[in-house]
Structure 1
């Protein structure tokens, strides 16, 4: 299991005078700083110069195991070809994947230390959990509704040549609200619905579905669970895995969430993935909609044994 990482074991830029890029163009991206760091790797903030126009980008370190770097590159090249076709206003755009040297001074790439990089468009805005604080429920629900539609779109394969995509790490920190619109970012752990040969299980403890925590392969249902857990968190301040169903239900009611939507969120948080609703977006109704009785009461929300907001990576065979 990997949870957290030693910042000193990797490069952390102090000046904007470092660059990364593929083998044939090692100075393609200027690195402006480290946007995030943790057990899930490093996310760099950078820019791409296009005819004198700096384009902001996010650069994620995907893999640095030299023994199987080639296989990871082939796998991610195939995935990136699909992800680049996804075009949705609430899904961050994926630009390219490449193997390149460590961040370096311009014109001086090191001959060793190759890593696998994923480059995405930079989403400027505020994290969903920070943006939602103090806002009325009707405003937060509108943003969650747009995000729900984007997650359904991602799973459907409508924008990816018929191949559904699982994000695998939906959480408030991976949603940026920009001009009132949510943008789901960080496709560094994304996998296709069909044909994923999982060797590593990735999850964020506070938002992961129980089957993912057990080490089972993820599927669209586990993404929907993570979405519902994130929605409850930003609407009420509760983490569902730490709370009972009555507590979550009461908190949603206190926040002004319509009963129909509250029932759908609770149903999406059940432990058995086969019992979860097959989609998210159709249930998002205005806060002032007529109340709908919840019958029968929803099953209990599963409670995890341990909790942490960090992302965890482990092999399914790990204890």
Structure 2
């Protein structure tokens, strides 16, 4: 239904600008979509607090309706669990505190979010941010016979189409915390069976709470109580998690509370996004920022940009001037907002990606990744399979920097060659030696860049010499692009 752009104000503030796409047949935004968008803007403006993404400005009456919000260059909780694995209890309480404080702000404004889930919570260094009010509702609006939200994290009454309340958000919060602790939804067999079967299990409150670490029962289980009236309020939860945080008064941000892998991933994500913003600004407006203005109301307005390489539509509202830097990839569905630049976007020439890591593979399952395999998991487009990688420190390594990165044409296609620096070369040799001692499929090494699985070759013997080759279904162009991401000049 829409698209999100990254933009800069004349004062240099970076914001995310959500717009509605015109109907492809009519060439205009429908009245129903415009009303829905205006309602989203109005509800989002009612929410304050440090743990939500605030609205900067908006114009739902513009020919192209738009809303600008704070841009948060941080990964979602879902991305972090998938790539880094579940959280220990102490770290989980820190994230829970920020999420609960966001709920307090939302409920104090008389709203119910209705779609709290790991992908709607971003995690920068200073604490979580709850985003996307696309299906929120005012608490004084009664809705029945309509199911909204994501089934895996929705409260049973929400799945049944009954009125949703602040207690429904508390259940979704508990389900999200359960996911952080275990890597899966609390509902039994989530992701299996038809959508209707999953909806029925949620409506019946069919939970499977096995695997919840000791010490988290008192926080999470009350939130998942079937009776909404017996669930704790957001204020009560804030008192509970606040007492845990008070035991470590000197601990502040992610580096104090989170495992090293999580805090490093957050830092690298933010750095990469900042570099991509700068690169996009240089590409689109190298000399001067272009002021965005309202386009004329013609049939050509329907041809909104479909790729990051195209100029975005021009927007205007009295007192607001935004400079668009880069379009985010992908369309929005169900009112969701993409708060990210294009995955795998253009890298700054000569830049070294600092989020490259190698890990031994534990399991491989055919098809896309589901809850059948525990996180971290990565899907291979080439092999049409899901790879579960090891979380043990001795079975993985982060690559500080590659050198001598270049492409080469092999017998079956293009590949990338690269060398490790001294310390990484030794760790790579140790990792390949460990892999060679394991049976298939555990003798595979996953090569992961950010949140993408690049390749997962099998290793039959130790590889010394500090060099590796990455092969796959690469064309010349895709191999060159990947090589640049890895540090090629």
> How high is the TM-score relative to the length of structure 2?
0.40
C-alpha contact 2:117 2:153 (8 A) present in aligned 1: yes
Q: How does 1:69-84 map to 2 (within 5 A)?
A: 71-72=35-36, 75-76=39-40, 79-80=42-43, 83-84=44-45
Does residue 46 (structure 1) correspond to residue 10 (structure 2)? The answer is no
Alpha carbons of structure 1 residues 97 and 265: separation in structure 2 relative to 1, 3 Å: farther
Residue 240 of structure 2 corresponds to which residue in structure 1?
A: 283
C-alpha contact 2:34 2:60 (8 A) present in aligned 1: no
C-alpha contact 2:154 2:168 (8 A) present in aligned 1: yes
Equivalent pairs, count: 224
Gaps of 5+ in 2: 24-28, 190-204, 248-331, 336-489
Structure 1 residues 264-273 or 42-51, which shifts more? Answer: 42-51
Distance 1:246 1:67 in 2: 40
Q: CA deviation at 1:166?
A: 1.1
Q: What is the aligned counterpart of 1:98 among 60, 81, 100?
A: 60
Q: What is the aligned counterpart of 1:185 among 128, 131, 154?
A: 131
Does residue 271 (structure 1) correspond to residue 226 (structure 2)? The answer is yes
Distance 1:312 1:74 in 2: 15
Could you report, residue by residue, the CA deviation over 1:209-236 in whole angstroms, capped at 9, with x for unpaired residues? 1111111122111111111000000111
Distance 2:39 2:246 in 1: 47
Residue 168 of structure 1 corresponds to which residue in structure 2?
A: 114
Larger Rg: 2
Residue 230 of structure 1 corresponds to which residue in structure 2?
A: 176
Structure 1 residues 270-279 or 192-201, which shifts more? Answer: 192-201
Gaps of 5+ in 1: 1-40, 102-113, 158-163, 290-309, 314-319
RMSD, aligned α-carbons? 3.4
> How high is the TM-score relative to the length of structure 1?
0.59
Could you report, residue by residue, the CA deviation over 1:106-160 in whole angstroms, capped at 9, with x for unpaired residues? xxxxxxxx5x444322211111123353443312221112211221222123xxx
C-alpha contact 1:47 1:56 (8 A) present in aligned 2: yes
Could you report, residue by residue, the CA deviation over 1:24-43 in whole angstroms, capped at 9, with x for unpaired residues? xxxxxxxxxxxxxxxxx444
Match of 1:225, SS state, is: helix
Alpha carbons of structure 1 residues 187 and 217: separation in structure 2 relative to 1, 3 Å: same
Q: CA deviation at 1:288?
A: 12
Alpha carbons of structure 1 residues 217 and 63: separation in structure 2 relative to 1, 3 Å: farther
